[in-house]
Amino acid sequence: QVQLVESGGGLVQPGGSLRLSCTASGMIFKLWDMAWYRQAPGKERDLVATSFKGGSIDYSDFVRGRFTLSRDNAKNTIYLQMDGLKPEDTAIYYCNGRRGPWEDGNWGQGTQVTVSS
Protein backbone atom coordinates (compact mmCIF):
# COMPACT_ATOMS: atom_id res chain seq x y z
CA GLN A 1 0.00 0.00 0.00
CA VAL A 2 0.97 3.62 -0.51
CA GLN A 3 2.50 5.37 2.49
CA LEU A 4 3.47 9.03 2.86
CA VAL A 5 5.43 10.17 5.91
CA GLU A 6 6.05 13.83 6.73
CA SER A 7 8.75 15.17 9.03
CA GLY A 8 10.55 18.40 9.90
CA GLY A 9 7.86 20.41 11.66
CA GLY A 10 8.41 22.27 14.89
CA LEU A 11 8.29 25.59 16.72
CA VAL A 12 10.00 28.57 15.09
CA GLN A 13 10.03 32.34 15.65
CA PRO A 14 8.54 34.74 13.09
CA GLY A 15 11.00 35.26 10.26
CA GLY A 16 12.59 31.89 10.84
CA SER A 17 12.89 28.85 8.59
CA LEU A 18 11.94 25.19 8.52
CA ARG A 19 12.41 22.43 5.98
CA LEU A 20 9.72 19.76 5.70
CA SER A 21 10.20 16.36 4.11
CA CYS A 22 7.74 13.81 2.75
CA THR A 23 8.98 10.34 1.87
CA ALA A 24 6.77 8.00 -0.14
CA SER A 25 6.69 4.24 -0.56
CA GLY A 26 4.51 1.66 -2.29
CA MET A 27 4.24 3.47 -5.61
CA ILE A 28 6.19 4.51 -8.71
CA PHE A 29 7.06 7.91 -7.32
CA LYS A 30 8.18 9.55 -10.56
CA LEU A 31 4.76 8.93 -12.13
CA TRP A 32 2.81 10.70 -9.37
CA ASP A 33 1.86 14.32 -8.78
CA MET A 34 2.90 15.40 -5.28
CA ALA A 35 1.68 18.34 -3.22
CA TRP A 36 1.84 20.08 0.13
CA TYR A 37 -1.36 21.16 1.89
CA ARG A 38 -1.91 22.83 5.25
CA GLN A 39 -4.78 23.12 7.69
CA ALA A 40 -5.13 25.49 10.64
CA PRO A 41 -7.59 24.77 13.49
CA GLY A 42 -11.17 25.52 12.46
CA LYS A 43 -10.23 26.17 8.84
CA GLU A 44 -10.33 24.23 5.61
CA ARG A 45 -7.34 22.44 4.17
CA ASP A 46 -5.52 24.68 1.70
CA LEU A 47 -3.22 23.76 -1.16
CA VAL A 48 0.29 25.16 -0.61
CA ALA A 49 2.32 23.92 -3.59
CA THR A 50 2.25 21.17 -6.20
CA SER A 51 5.04 19.26 -7.93
CA PHE A 52 3.73 17.72 -11.14
CA LYS A 53 5.29 14.55 -12.50
CA GLY A 54 6.18 16.41 -15.70
CA GLY A 55 8.50 18.71 -13.74
CA SER A 56 6.52 21.91 -13.26
CA ILE A 57 5.82 23.43 -9.83
CA ASP A 58 2.90 25.64 -8.81
CA TYR A 59 2.72 27.80 -5.68
CA SER A 60 -0.26 29.33 -3.94
CA ASP A 61 -0.17 33.13 -3.71
CA PHE A 62 0.19 33.21 0.07
CA VAL A 63 3.54 31.35 -0.01
CA ARG A 64 5.03 32.39 -3.34
CA GLY A 65 8.47 33.94 -2.82
CA ARG A 66 8.88 32.47 0.66
CA PHE A 67 8.45 28.70 0.21
CA THR A 68 10.29 26.42 -2.21
CA LEU A 69 9.11 22.93 -3.15
CA SER A 70 11.73 20.51 -4.47
CA ARG A 71 11.55 16.90 -5.60
CA ASP A 72 14.12 14.10 -5.48
CA ASN A 73 12.77 11.13 -7.43
CA ALA A 74 15.81 9.01 -6.54
CA LYS A 75 14.88 9.30 -2.85
CA ASN A 76 11.08 9.19 -3.32
CA THR A 77 10.97 12.47 -1.41
CA ILE A 78 9.61 15.98 -1.75
CA TYR A 79 10.70 18.90 0.40
CA LEU A 80 9.22 22.22 1.41
CA GLN A 81 11.78 24.87 2.34
CA MET A 82 9.93 27.55 4.31
CA ASP A 83 11.63 30.91 4.81
CA GLY A 84 10.30 34.14 6.27
CA LEU A 85 7.72 32.28 8.31
CA LYS A 86 4.74 34.22 9.67
CA PRO A 87 2.34 33.39 12.52
CA GLU A 88 -0.40 32.81 9.94
CA ASP A 89 1.67 29.94 8.54
CA THR A 90 0.91 27.97 11.71
CA ALA A 91 -0.88 24.78 10.67
CA ILE A 92 -0.57 21.06 10.23
CA TYR A 93 1.21 20.44 6.95
CA TYR A 94 0.18 17.38 4.94
CA CYS A 95 1.74 15.57 2.01
CA ASN A 96 -0.51 14.36 -0.83
CA GLY A 97 0.17 12.15 -3.82
CA ARG A 98 -1.99 11.01 -6.73
CA ARG A 99 -1.60 9.57 -10.20
CA GLY A 100 -3.85 12.16 -11.78
CA PRO A 101 -6.86 14.43 -11.28
CA TRP A 102 -9.24 11.46 -11.33
CA GLU A 103 -8.01 10.47 -7.86
CA ASP A 104 -8.52 12.11 -4.48
CA GLY A 105 -4.98 11.15 -3.56
CA ASN A 106 -3.19 9.60 -0.62
CA TRP A 107 -2.37 11.53 2.55
CA GLY A 108 0.38 11.50 5.11
CA GLN A 109 -0.22 11.89 8.83
CA GLY A 110 0.82 15.55 8.89
CA THR A 111 3.51 17.50 10.72
CA GLN A 112 2.84 20.48 13.00
CA VAL A 113 4.38 23.86 12.18
CA THR A 114 4.02 26.57 14.83
CA VAL A 115 5.30 30.11 14.25
CA SER A 116 5.31 32.13 17.45
CA SER A 117 7.51 34.43 19.50
pLDDT 10s digits, 52-85: 999 999 999 999 899 999 999 999 999 999 999 9
Give residues with Cβ within 8 angstroms of 48, minimum separation 6: 35, 36, 37, 38, 59, 60, 63, 67, 80, 93
Q: Which of 60-64, 88-92, 112-116 is predicted with the least confidence, judged by mean pLDDT?
A: 60-64
What is the per-residue pLDDT across 19-52, written as a single tens digit (0 to 9) for each? 999 999 999 999 999 999 999 999 999 999 999 9
Average pLDDT over every residue of 75-101 = 97
